[in-house]
Structure 1
């Protein structure tokens, strides 16, 4: 009879049932408990710093006499810096390790985010938004790459969905917090509420940047909180997973891979919808009849709460069924429907319902998308490919607020911008079915 106990090739330890499903499940649960909550907390800080400009807009535009177009350009120019520096950032992370590089990212963006209190002109607004994009470039794709060091494709959708729950959590916590700061601290120490917003919401990223240096490990081999049997199991599964992946041998073959461009096109549409929601959600709620920034913040928490419920359920379903395409395309179509119906509504309650549908769909799609490229790419190709797909797609973060802001100024209504977002997300859902199912359903 074959023993259920397997000797570790590192230590010869026969004490752990490394072939046991129970042992494997407990090991991955241990890894998840150690990494996912902390990474979620870091991304929550990142997302607060990235999108608090949507709340600052409620006061900043009047104080500084900025137009909707100026705001849209400033909100979007963040992604130009993000685009230019994302691939180099991920390649550096792959070489020097996640611990040092992720800490560097968080510390620099915290300082830049706090510097928004000095903005007085459109030029200063544009420059700081661009620098914020440069500072943050590589964080999200860096964490996605980092998770491939620990989780094989079959377990990655759930891990990614839990990590991406930081986005709706940032909205659920950040909305009321931002509203409270702007409502309660307006004029305190002769400083506007929106300035207090930028200053105070930069502090968590500063603290977490230091915490990364003390808490995070670069990979399985350096994790002192794992025993040798657990390390062997994890390393073996990741190595087996990488056998199926593409490793490009040249820059030319990398750039010429049509699958990467298809992935970028899909995620471009997802990101366009995601930031259409993020940057304009407070404005949409205010236009539905809510004036007080505190109540705007409280109402913005509701759509994000719905997304928090949807993300882990869809992630677990995707892993259970080993099916990736429908678990991405259906949430995208649901989100598109929410955006499309929203312009026809006038009441606060009806608007919140549609925004909740849109938020649950588009944020679930944002997490599920990464099950596709991470199932295809390995090694340095994964580092460059994840970053390349993300940086090209995140140009939508530039175009989305700029186009929506321009359409709002042009028409005097938000209807055209929302229809544009709905159409783009629908197109992206159609692109999903161009990805061969057999290449990603693992």
Structure 2
């Protein structure tokens, strides 16, 4: 008769080996893809420093154009993720990368505000489905106990993108006039090309699902299939996408998530302009911003690991959200640029590090095509907060004549997010009993 302790230890070793293999094979490439996507999404915040005047747009008009990205993203997110389920992860990701890379390069040849508006909308439509597609892929490759850490490691790419993007953007802007191109033109051309070049790599390397991964042993595939099947046993099955989109929990999560992109994009979009007010060069501006995102990367690594070791995960969403709200308002009241910058660093670390734990909530009641539709709907609706951050906030700042009004708006949205998380948690099934610290 087999020794139960020996069997448990063998299963634990297989579990660790399987998750480690998945981490090593998938997360670096997916993280690199997201890094390139995030740079191409956010490079407009640096291009604004030169581009707005060149094409004759005010800050508010330029912010509206930048925000149109999120409108295209919103309209095409759910259809894109449903097509991903049918076409497969690797093919659809490759298509997304080629189209968004080409649109980014075209932004470097913008001749008017109208063209800028059109291309920003098309960029959102082209990139729609990437982030929720990765979230859907995580549900195929990771049991619940490992998802927050996997998403946290993946999202470190967004912080790395801001670090690299900040440094590179400042240098590219200072190439102004080289070979007859403005600095902002160099910025779009240089940052758009990697997406097109990486697409064939994604097509060849990323498997659609665990059964297609030659680097997983049969035992590893069997363990992963059993762990995921045990979780799906308690989840509703066979639900059409339309029904999922009408689920009250999905609708509440859609509203709850708005505070995250609203704050994160508000910070990342306006931070270069804030730092420019310190009287530094474009290159120094980039490196000052890079420091903030290095701190965010550490928070993305640390907070999900801490949350995974404690049973009551919602507090690891609610507490950082409330800290961020307080830090944003405080940043306006503090004297001097250094103290204001420190407060913004705290706000950014808190709000971004809570997101990986937030994304473990939907898979507790959604899976399969329902998960693809639900995750896309939550991300798409929430990312309208990005539109508000880049279009409405500059208008509020100009109309009020005070930097406090936009920060109060962000803080109010975050308080609503904290309340929403608490309400959603009360309606979700308990986490699977097999969840444990790895």
Counterparts of residues 71-86 of structure 1 (less than 5 Å): 71-86=62-77
1:368 corresponds in structure 2 to 357
Query: CA separation in 2, counterparts of 1:244 and 1:279?
Result: 41
1:227 corresponds in structure 2 to 217
CA shift at 1:256, angstroms? 3.0
The 8 Å contact of residues 246 and 381 in structure 1, kept in 2 or not, is answered as no
2:78 corresponds in structure 1 to 87
Instruction: Decide which moves more: 236-245 or 252-261.
Output: 252-261
Counterparts of residues 221-370 of structure 1 (less than 5 Å): 221-247=211-237, 249-250=239-240, 253-287=243-277, 289-370=278-359
1:2 and 2:2 equivalent?
Answer: yes
The 8 Å contact of residues 241 and 369 in structure 2, kept in 1 or not, is answered as no
Query: CA separation in 1, counterparts of 2:5 and 2:216?
Result: 18
Q: Deviations over 1:255-279 (max 9, x none)?
A: 3311011111111111111111121
* Correspondence for 2:114 among 113, 123, 142: 123
Tell me: CA distance 1:18–1:378, structure 2 relative to 1, closer, same or farther (3 Å).
Answer: farther
1:31 and 2:17 equivalent?
Answer: no
* Correspondence for 1:395 among 364, 378, 384: 384
The 8 Å contact of residues 40 and 166 in structure 1, kept in 2 or not, is answered as yes
Query: CA separation in 2, counterparts of 1:17 and 1:114?
Result: 53
Q: Deviations over 1:77-105 (max 9, x none)?
A: 11111111111111111111100000100
Query: CA separation in 2, counterparts of 1:130 and 1:413?
Result: 30
Query: CA separation in 1, counterparts of 2:241 and 2:356?
Result: 27
CA shift at 1:61, angstroms? 1.5
The 8 Å contact of residues 4 and 20 in structure 1, kept in 2 or not, is answered as no
TM-score scaled by length of structure 2 = 0.94
* Correspondence for 1:203 among 189, 193, 208: 193
* Correspondence for 2:35 among 32, 38, 44: 44
CA shift at 1:109, angstroms? 0.1
Gaps (5+ residues) in structure 2?
Answer: 433-438
1:439 corresponds in structure 2 to 429
2:397 corresponds in structure 1 to 408
CA shift at 1:250, angstroms? 4.2
Q: Name the SS of the counterpart of 1:202 in structure 2.
A: helix
Query: CA separation in 2, counterparts of 1:224 and 1:113?
Result: 35
The 8 Å contact of residues 77 and 129 in structure 1, kept in 2 or not, is answered as yes
2:154 corresponds in structure 1 to 163
TM-score scaled by length of structure 1 = 0.93
How many residue pairs get matched? 431
Instruction: Decide which moves more: 102-111 or 69-78.
Output: 69-78
Q: Name the SS of the counterpart of 1:120 in structure 2.
A: coil
Q: Name the SS of the counterpart of 2:141 in structure 1.
A: coil
The 8 Å contact of residues 182 and 196 in structure 1, kept in 2 or not, is answered as yes
CA shift at 1:120, angstroms? 2.0
